[in-house]
Structure 1
């Protein structure tokens, strides 16, 4: 799903400049479920491919607004890869596939139509705080991973 042309955020004065030479994951830093996903990616991203931004940061909030997303109710992670934003199930499946073997097999689920995948994604997203809870403060990376977090 491409909501806007590739790298359109570079022309948006409300979006601060950021390093986009690697795929970037924008996530809800207060959501324990979402932070767990980021920890999973950090553990399995052996090539250090992904960079991360919390949705609560000024840059994360600007990106959510740029893509027409609710910047207070973060019901999707955003994967920005090659300047294109991928949301919901598409973004998550691409994130997983980008981790390399054996996670590349997650891409198989992309054969299912979004009309099936996205409602399942949305069900989990709407209930993520009930499923895993919420942090009182935003996710803080470990010192060894701090360089992979933007803003």
Structure 2
């Protein structure tokens, strides 16, 4: 079995991150994206593979084959892959990543306070289970 092309790693206990996953699922009927919580075994294995910190759950990671994108760049690549009207937002990639990531960091640092958190990672419904890596 080949590794999926687009794997989205997210903070599994973050309500905002879980909403982002639901947003992507709703707009990805073809199932281009697979998902793994950063805290999961699959998420930790991918972080290790790319030499990324295994304890930093403030980052949004998109793995595309043998490459990866972090933070705002990951988000923009997700929108581009979703296609349709969402790919229009990819033009924001023209802004310098430090500027984009500064805005990303402001949200990431306060996401638990603003959006809340859960005690455990989300459990996908049986229909969506195949979209999540363990």
Match of 1:114 in 2: 97
Q: Do residues 74 (structure 1) and 75 (structure 2) align? A: no
- Find the partner of 1:133 among 74, 96, 116: 116
Between 61-70 and 48-57, report the one with greater CA deviation: 61-70
Secondary structure at the aligned position of 1:97 is classed as helix
Shift of 1:77: 1.2
More helix by share: 2
Does the alignment pair 1:146 with 2:132?
no
TM-score by length of 2: 0.92
Q: Which ranges of structure 1 fall in alignment gaps of 5 or more residues?
A: 1-17
What is the RMSD of the two structures over their aligned residues, measured on CA atoms? 1.5
Within 2, Cα distance between the matches of 1:123 and 1:64?
Answer: 23
1:19 offset after TM fit, Å?
4.5
**How many residues are aligned here?**
134
The answer for the alignment partner of 1:96 in structure 2 is 79
3-state DSSP of counterpart to 2:84: coil
Contact 1:79 1:87 in 2 (8 A): yes
Structure 2: 5+ residue runs without aligned partners?
A: none
TM-score by length of 1: 0.82
Q: 1:69 to 1:21 in 2, by over 3 A?
A: closer
* Superposition misfits of 4+ residues, deviation over 6 angstroms: none
Q: Work out whether residues 53 and 60 of structure 1, in 8 Å CA contact, stay in contact via their aligned partners in 2.
A: yes
Which whole-Å deviations, capped at 9, do the CAs of 1:104-133 have from their partners, x for residues lacking one? 111011111112101111111111111211
